Amino acid sequence: MRRIAVISVTLNAVTPMMRRFSQEPGAWAVTNLLDEALQAEIAAEGRVTDRSMAQMGALLGRAAAIKAEAVLLTCTVFSPYLPALRQLFAMPLIGADVAMLEQAAALQRRTVILCTFPAALAGSAAMFEAASGGVAADVVLVEGAQAAMAAGDPARHDALITEAIRAHAQNYEAVVLAQMSMAGAAALVPDCPVPLLTSPDCAVAALRTALPA
């Protein structure tokens, strides 16, 4: 059993990731490190600041203290900063969305990335372009989804994402759901006519690569 830490800034990202881990009982010893105040701070600032980077550094320090063999970040807004964070810690640091965007880029299809968190828009676009060797994806904010989740209405959150998936699948060759918290909506579109990528499966694949048996 491999010991890993999962760092999240919303409980809505913890649930889909733990659901994926539960499909392989005995494979992972998971410690969740959650700081929801960090997401609220970034949303208020509209960007990652020195203060929020310091808070993320503290979370990674806690992961090191429990001797995690690897760390999975479910918070997409920090993924562009992974190269800098990796300079500070020896354990593998994996961005769930990075793994997914790399897989999406490998498809070599006209891609749209759907986001619910405005601060993650630019980072998602840049990471896809880097992974694809300069090919850009369109990035679209699913208006109202984040507010619905914050208001305690996950059904409305998923319905808005489902509507966006169906609309954009008509015009693109692949659809990517940027945030971990969006993964549940994918199950509501089993007949999606194009590849529909979510991060839990991609994250587990990346962990297996980082921590070979």
Tell me the pLDDT tens digit for each residue of 49-84. 999 999 999 999 999 999 999 999 998 889 889 999
3-state SS assignment for residue 94: strand
Contact 143, 166 (CB under 8 A): no
pLDDT, one tens digit per residue, over 113-131 is 999 988 888 888 988 998 8
CA–CA distance, 180 with 200 (Å, rounded to integer): 7
CA–CA distance, 126 with 79 (Å, rounded to integer): 11
- Residue 111's nearest CA partner among 89, 96, 127, 95 is 127
Predicted confidence at residue 31, as pLDDT, reads 96
CA–CA distance, 83 with 22 (Å, rounded to integer): 29
199-210 and 11-21 helices cross at what angle (nearest 10)?
60
Q: Read off the tokens for 88.
A: 């500070």
Q: Which domains does the chain have, with CATH numbers?
A: 2-95+201-210 (3.40.50.1860), 98-199 (3.40.50.1860)
Predicted confidence at residue 161, as pLDDT, reads 97
Query: Position 33: which residue type?
Result: L
Predicted confidence at residue 112, as pLDDT, reads 97
- Mean pLDDT, rounded, of the chain: 91
Contact 97, 210 (CB under 8 A): no
CA–CA distance, 128 with 162 (Å, rounded to integer): 22
Predicted confidence at residue 63, as pLDDT, reads 96
CA 203 to chain centre: 9
Predicted confidence at residue 212, as pLDDT, reads 77
Predicted confidence at residue 213, as pLDDT, reads 67
Instruction: Centre a 10 Å sphere on the Cβ of residue 91 and count the other Cβ atoms it contains.
Output: 18
In this predicted structure, the answer to whether residue 166 has a pLDDT above a threshold of 70 is yes
Predicted confidence at residue 77, as pLDDT, reads 84
CA–CA distance, 5 with 141 (Å, rounded to integer): 29
For residue 111, list its beta bridge partners. 174
CA–CA distance, 6 with 112 (Å, rounded to integer): 27
Q: Read off the tokens for 65.
A: 């203290």
Percent of the chain with pLDDT over 70: 100
> Euclidean distance between the first and final Cα of the chain, in Å?
9
Average confidence (pLDDT) over 160-187 = 94
